[in-house]
Amino acid sequence: MEEITLEKIDAIRSRTGVSYREAKEALEQARGNVVEALIALESEKQTNWTEEFSVRSSEVIDKVKELIHEGNVNSIRVKHEDKTLVDIPVGLGALGAVFLPQLAALGVLVAVFKRCTIEVIRNDKNDHEE
């Protein structure tokens, strides 16, 4: 087992952005090998990706409902001119049904704007790995 040093921990932290504790634990599991620790951390990392839709305000509710029902959405943000109007956390598609009553309030809020942007944050490890 190679020695675990602060320099190794810092090297892992600078490359991955993990905490000191996570870097140390990864090094311990990799028996002090920095490369193996980096590979292990990278394989654990979940891939998040974001897409944006620009829609007319009258289409916002339908688009948000559609996205909630897709199921692989973590968060939906409705924006107007780079200002977030609503941020809806959607962990699972089934839980999204809980948010449907609040969509009426969203409709009233966005009715005053001509266009809005819907930002969707997804977590899909299998389809979008680099």
DSSP 77: E
> Half-sphere exposure of residue 95, counting CA atoms within 13 Å on the CB side?
9
What's the whole-model pTM score? 0.47
Residue 48 is predicted with a pLDDT of: 62
Contacts for 70 with CB less than 8 Å, ≥ 6 apart: 93
What sign has the CA pseudo-torsion 82, 86, 92, 96? negative
- Residue 118 banded pLDDT, cuts 50, 70, 90: confident
- Do 25 and 31 meet the contact criterion of CB atoms below 8 Å apart? no
> In the chain, where are the structural domains located?
6-45, 48-123
